[in-house]
Chains A and B, each alone.
Chain A
Amino acid sequence: MSVDEKTVRRIAHLARIAVTDDEVGPLQGELNAILAFVEQLGTVDVSGVEPMTSVTPMAMKKREDVVTEGGRAADVVANAPETEDNYFLVPKVVE
């Protein structure tokens, strides 16, 4: 399978990455090179094989249902580009 220019723009939008017109062509070539490389996986017989979900067999860890951390709002927002009263500020989403 290979991707066309329109698909490259669609993927970029899904990934929330702005691309310029100049970038689309080279990206298309690079993505198609990777897709051509992974094409060989189509030749492997995978019938009856379970997809891997956990690389080491382990039981899911459980812990007591209690508050472990909290009350650190100032730490949480410390690296945010814009905040007000420990809230993250973003451009208006709903008119």
Chain B
Amino acid sequence: MAGRRATARGDVNSVNPNELTLAEARDALKAKRLSARELTQAHLDAMAKARALNAYLLETPDRALQMAVVSDEKIASGEAGPLEGIPLGIKDLFCTHGVTTTAGSKILQAFEPHYESAVSANLWRDGAVMLGKLNLDEFAMGSSNETSAFGNVVSPWRRRGSDAPLVPGGSSGGSAAAVAAQLCLGATATDTGGSIRQPAAFTGTVGIKPTYGRCSRWGTVAFASSLDQAGPIARTVRDCAILLGSMSGPDPRDTTCADLAVPDFEAAVSRGVKGLTIGIPREYRVDGMPAEIQKLWDEGAAWLKAAGATLRDISLPHTSYALPAYYIVAPAEASSNLARYDGVRYGLRVPGKDIAGMYENTRAAGFGREVKRRIMIGTYVLSAGYYDAYYVRAQKIRTLIKRDFEAAYADGVDAILTPATPSAAFGIGEKASADPVEMYLNDVFTVTVNMAGLPGIAVPAGLDGQGLPLGLQLIGRPFDEETLFAVAQVIEDSAGRTALPEPWWA
């Protein structure tokens, strides 16, 4: 038995409130079959039993219950917002007013923002309830959640017949694990090179990185500003569409945030794929890809064809250069963004013999190994004599990667289907070798999307031979998340909603 069904169908009153999807819970709240307080309490109880997963860095039960009470009042008085009473987890990269925000780093261990991130503020505006702050790789730099200064997240998934702990993926590992383990109805996440889609694929959840500029970056701790984008992780395509509708929208405080009205993403979910052309890029057929992933990819294509889409083989010739170019661009931007952590204005301070010594000691003690490594690579590629050879060249290659996609879309392709990850989840500590590149290869299928600023969604498509989830990725045109939701829904329907892990932790 691989797992249990995602939700029990039928009478909402007969099921555990955490087993509802976000859409089902929303409808139950609206129909007053369930109160926000009950729903929130059920999640707080589940969180308390699931501390072994280390998904939440901070639980905020008092705030959650206060917000739930207000939601119940609003529902009673007919003033409910679109997410009224829906309990969510917030990745600890989003600044939350008066609630510690660490970015998974020792350097921000005691940081208490006096402002609220645009994305989380949009969710509260729409009535959502905050359950707590979710674990992540330090400053969102990682693909396994093993770089968090506050310990690994343990995936709720295990290989069949094994109790070896697995990674949930990263950097949004806490978000993905909490959603898969039913510790929230949905979670915020961020994606710089794959940090929403890879953990979603590893945990059998749905995650979308919208187009660069769809969500405001204001108040989200910056990693690489030209690549960072917020998005939701949830258990169904519809739930992701609902959450993205609330999270996104124009914001004058982020000059790269697009001044575009937010479409009705939920309405797009049921559009179907009839008449759409789906590109299958040959460059994603990489050497050494497990046969199971290839099979899943072929199956996904067959499902879309059966539902009325046209398949087309396409070429994205610069695909293989995206990951190395990313490891120049992202560290370069990170080295600049993380220069602000100097022990002066906020965060940790470690004294030194002079001010430079204070900076150096503060950053040596406050940053973990992966973060230091990336800051140093970024410093090197931006330093005199290397800037043109590394940084400018990488930005030119980024132009070429984007052109590949533009050519495919100009040729009539509506969306592109690829595997989400080159493997299923791996064990904690399994990729701790001296070569950091081994870990970086996890993002080989997702990073192209960030480099080109496009939207990408990961949707569960099946389980591998060991009973672990595998996901497919769809890549869309700029600001056409609606097509991604429509296509992803067909995959979700065809695959049958992925089972959830057995709750061994509870």
Contact of A41 among B258, B325, B440, B478 (CB under 8 A): B325
Q: Which residues of B contact A66 (CB under 8 A)?
A: none
Q: Is A46 an interface residue (CB 8 A)?
A: yes
Q: Is A60 an interface residue (CB 8 A)?
A: yes
CA distance A58 to B325 in the complex (A): 23
Stretch with Cβ within 8 A of A (4 or more), from B133-141, B156-164, B353-361 = B353-361
Q: Is A67 an interface residue (CB 8 A)?
A: no
Within 8 A of A (CB), among B440-455: 440, 451-453
Q: Kindly report which residue of chain B lies nearest to residue A17, judged by CB atoms.
A: B363
Nearest Cβ on chain B to A80's Cβ, whole angstroms: 6
Among A31, A39, A41, A58, the one with the most B-chain Cβ atoms within 10 Å of its Cβ is A41
CA distance A4 to B51 in the complex (A): 44
Is A41 a contact of B393 with CB atoms below 8 Å?
yes
Is B344 a contact of A53 with CB atoms below 8 Å?
no
Contact of B453 among A16, A56, A78 (CB under 8 A): A56
Is B114 a contact of A78 with CB atoms below 8 Å?
yes
Residue count of chain B within 8 Å CB distance of chain A: 75
Among A53, A61, A81, A82, the one with the most B-chain Cβ atoms within 10 Å of its Cβ is A81
Q: Which residues of B contact A7 (CB under 8 A)?
A: 380
Stretch with Cβ within 8 A of A (4 or more), from B185-193, B284-292, B370-378 = B370-378
Q: Is B481 an interface residue (CB 8 A)?
A: no
Contact of B396 among A8, A49, A93 (CB under 8 A): A49
Q: Is B347 an interface residue (CB 8 A)?
A: yes
CA distance A93 to B357 in the complex (A): 11
Is B324 a contact of A38 with CB atoms below 8 Å?
yes
Q: Kindly report which residue of chain A lies nearest to residue B358, judged by CB atoms.
A: A91
Is B345 a contact of A52 with CB atoms below 8 Å?
no
Contact of A33 among B400, B402, B436 (CB under 8 A): B436
Q: Is B303 an interface residue (CB 8 A)?
A: no
Nearest Cβ on chain A to B402's Cβ, whole angstroms: 7
CA distance A5 to B188 in the complex (A): 41
Within 8 A of A (CB), among B274-310: none
Q: Which residues of B contact A53 (CB under 8 A)?
A: 395
Contact of B434 among A14, A29, A39 (CB under 8 A): A29
Is B376 a contact of A27 with CB atoms below 8 Å?
yes
CA distance A46 to B397 in the complex (A): 7
Nearest Cβ on chain A to B228's Cβ, whole angstroms: 11
Q: Which residues of A contact B346 (CB under 8 A)?
A: 79-81
CA distance A92 to B354 in the complex (A): 7
CA distance A7 to B129 in the complex (A): 50
16 further interface pairs, Cβ-Cβ under 8 Å (given A53-B395, A61-B252):
A16-B359, A19-B364, A31-B376, A38-B325, A38-B390, A40-B320, A49-B400, A51-B392, A52-B398, A55-B452, A56-B211, A56-B453, A58-B213, A63-B252, A75-B115, A93-B355
Give 19 pairs: A residue, B residue, CB < 8 Å, sorted on A: A14-B383, A15-B335, A16-B360, A18-B360, A18-B363, A30-B436, A33-B434, A35-B380, A41-B324, A41-B328, A46-B393, A50-B396, A51-B392, A52-B399, A55-B226, A58-B213, A79-B110, A79-B346, A90-B344
B-binding residues in A (CB < 8 A): 1, 3, 7-8, 11-19, 26-27, 29-31, 33-35, 37-42, 44, 46, 49-56, 58, 60-61, 63, 72, 75, 77-82, 88, 90-93
Q: Which 4 A-B pairs have the closest CB atoms?
A: A55-B453, A51-B395, A79-B346, A81-B349
